[in-house]
Structure 1
Amino acid sequence: MDALDRKRKRLLYQASYRGFKEADLLIGGFARTHLAELTDNELAEFEALLKINDRELYAYATGNAPVPDNLEGAVMAKLRAFKLPGV
């Protein structure tokens, strides 16, 4: 397993265990769907997003709170557009 695979595995874990079920499902689901296709820059952006408080990130991702300018980017746009399958 190379360094990039280890990073993706770590990010998937961090995205899937956020602290409350809705965030786990949404952010973890996004990670399972998109991590393999994210560029290096997007992986860094996603890693930075995972450092945000769970409830704040969930509110930004669901459109329940405006996204601060410093968090706007390709990954946030993809996260906001992401819909869980079957929901």
Structure 2
Amino acid sequence: MTETIEDRKKRLFYLSHHRGQVENDILLGRFARAYLHQFDEASLDAYERFLGEADVDIWAWITGMQPLPPRHDNEVFALIRAEAQGKA
């Protein structure tokens, strides 16, 4: 069975809130609540790839402690970083 876009958004919303690292749970949960509803397939693809990364890496990229890999340098990450910095 093929996953509908609404079911996919629900799954990604859940994964955003249940990361395993409290800081990421809060930040990505808030991000998902604010943006997932407006994402198209391409944005969902980018966000899902990002969520597939380790929490320690996600936190390091968001906080700028480590450089962001080119594979995640996109509009979705720009929104995540803006949300983290309170600029969204």
TM-score with structure 1 setting the length: 0.88
Determine if the alignment matches structure 1 residue 23 to structure 2 residue 18. Answer: no
C-alpha separation between the residues in 2 aligned to 1:83 and 1:76? 10
Aligned alpha-carbon RMSD (Å): 1.7
Residue pair 1:16, 1:25 contacting (<8 A) in 2 also = yes
Share of identical aligned residues, percent?
A: 32
C-alpha separation between the residues in 1 aligned to 2:42 and 2:31? 17
Matched to 2:22, the amino acid is K
C-alpha separation between the residues in 2 aligned to 1:65 and 1:83? 15
C-alpha separation between the residues in 2 aligned to 1:65 and 1:12? 25
Question: CA offset at residue 15 of structure 1?
Answer: 0.8
Give structure 1 regions of 4+ aligned residues with deviation exceeding 2 angstroms.
none
Q: Give secondary structure in 1 for the equivalent of 2:52.
A: coil
Question: Who is 2:83 aligned against?
Answer: 82
TM-score with structure 2 setting the length: 0.87
Aligned positions, number: 84
C-alpha separation between the residues in 2 aligned to 1:32 and 1:14? 12
Closer/same/farther in 2, CA of residues 84 and 14 from structure 1, 3 Å limit:
farther
C-alpha separation between the residues in 2 aligned to 1:69 and 1:29? 24
